[in-house]
Amino acid sequence: MSSAEPPPLRAGSVPYLNAVPLTLGLERRLVFLPPARLAAELRAGRLDAALVSVTEVLLHDGCDVLDGLAVGSDGPVLSVFLAHRGPLEAVREVRLDPASLTSVNLLKVLLAERGLRPAFRPLGAYAAAAEHDAVLLIGNPALAFRRQAHGHALWDLGAAWRELTGLPFVYAVWALRRGTDTAALRDELRAARRRGAAGLEQVLREWPDFDEPTRRAYLTRHIRYELGAAEKAGLARFAELLNRHGLGPARLPRFVV
């Protein structure tokens, strides 16, 4: 590392396209891990902040949430879905993306609201996803699955949540380890979001993940980065349903600026 290069941050993000507008300019200073591993690093105290699945802060105490920023959708999200053969009512077993936390609980809630409680098993490898009758996928692997031959119907969980509740859904938030001075880190994260908004057009043209039409549709029509009143109402509804269906106890976190 050169003397002019800023030091690493005690923070981590997911290695997915949807996080780029929140982390632009911090690529060499963050740890990039799947959501489940980020949560484990945060709990272990090896990170002070992480862009984690929202269930991490709904179901576990110890972290606050950076207000105003999130990864969410208000309708179809494209990158969180249940791929299934046959009708949903016939699904008896679902293979789960091992990286997922929030999406697993969202799927369980959406199925339970329909009176459906299939068995859940881990997905051994992404390459085997199309071999299963029902599989939950998230993030870049989900976008890649859409582009391959698979023979499945895709139940978009963002669309299903909007249909059920009329609210946006929040998938990930910046969780901040409580009891740690994160003021400077919060400034860095807000600055990265400003860079992401200002540099979005360049990301759409040049980022290496997928092709430009996919990037443009995904990041401009499906993913949202606000954490405002509507998103917080969606979080409250999600916490309520987690508790209703025995997936809690869930409670809303504290939001800090």
Q: Do the domains 11-75+168-256 and 80-165 sit in the same CATH topology, yes or no?
A: yes
pLDDT of amino acid 98: 82
Any idea what DSSP says for residue 170? E
CA–CA dist 131, 111 (Å, integer): 22
Is residue 17 within 8 Å of residue 140, measured between CB atoms? yes
User: Edge to edge, what strands does the sheet with 119-122 contain?
Assistant: 119-122, 93-96, 134-138, 80-84, 153-156
List C-alpha distances in Å: 136 to 58, 105, 108, 245.
Answer: 21, 11, 11, 19
List all residues 6 or more positions away from 91 whose beta carbon is below 8 Å from its beta carbon: 82, 84, 116, 118, 133, 134
Residue 252 pLDDT > 50? yes
Average pLDDT for residues 232-243, to the nearest whole number?
98
Which has more confidence, 234 or 2? 234
**SS3 for 79?**
coil
CA–CA dist 17, 140 (Å, integer): 7
According to CATH, the superfamily of the domain at 11-75+168-256 is: Periplasmic binding protein-like II (3.40.190.10)
According to CATH, the superfamily of the domain at 80-165 is: Periplasmic binding protein-like II (3.40.190.10)
Residue pLDDT, tens place only, 191-224: 999 999 999 999 999 999 999 999 999 999 999 9
* Residue boundaries of the structural domains of the chain: 11-75+168-256, 80-165
Average pLDDT for residues 26-31, to the nearest whole number?
96
Strands 93-96 and 119-122: parallel
pLDDT of amino acid 77: 97
